[in-house]
Amino acid sequence: RAYVQSGRRIVVDVDLSKFFDRVSHDILIDRLRKRIDDTGVIRLVRAYLNSGIMDHGVVQSRLEGTPQGGPLSPLLANVLLDEVDKELERRGHCFARYADDANVYVRSKKAGERVMALL
């Protein structure tokens, strides 16, 4: 989290802490079901999420989170955070977001603090 002055705007630099480690599988699958009417695709994503973690040669089950560095993880993050984008748009903010990183452009530090509280 940082505030960076850029001309007449302030940039709120956001990186959601441990986002990929904390993704709820159930919430993500629910959001996907609202957009995708294909049980095969949903089953495939669920298998991807449940693929487990290799730790010293032993596979451990994964109850939450998405594989870091996996090709689907940023896409799934975008699906999960779409409501955040819509709320920022509703409030009239200019922003750029990719997965768990975002820059939100505001006019004052107080507006930046409100954005941080929202996020």
**Does the pTM of the predicted model rise above 0.85?**
no
- At 22 the pLDDT is 92
Segment 32-69, tens digit of pLDDT: 999 999 999 999 999 999 987 778 888 888 889 998 78
- At 112 the pLDDT is 87
Which range marks the domain in which residue 104 is found? 1-117
Give how far Cα 86 sits from Cα of 53, 91, 115, Å.
33, 9, 13
- At 7 the pLDDT is 65
Into how many domains does the chain fold? 1
Percent of all residues in the chain with a pLDDT value above 70, rounded to a whole number:
94
- 3-class DSSP state of 56: coil
Segment 103-115, tens digit of pLDDT: 999 988 888 888 8
Tokens of 42: 């949903």
Distance CA 83, CA 70 (A): 23
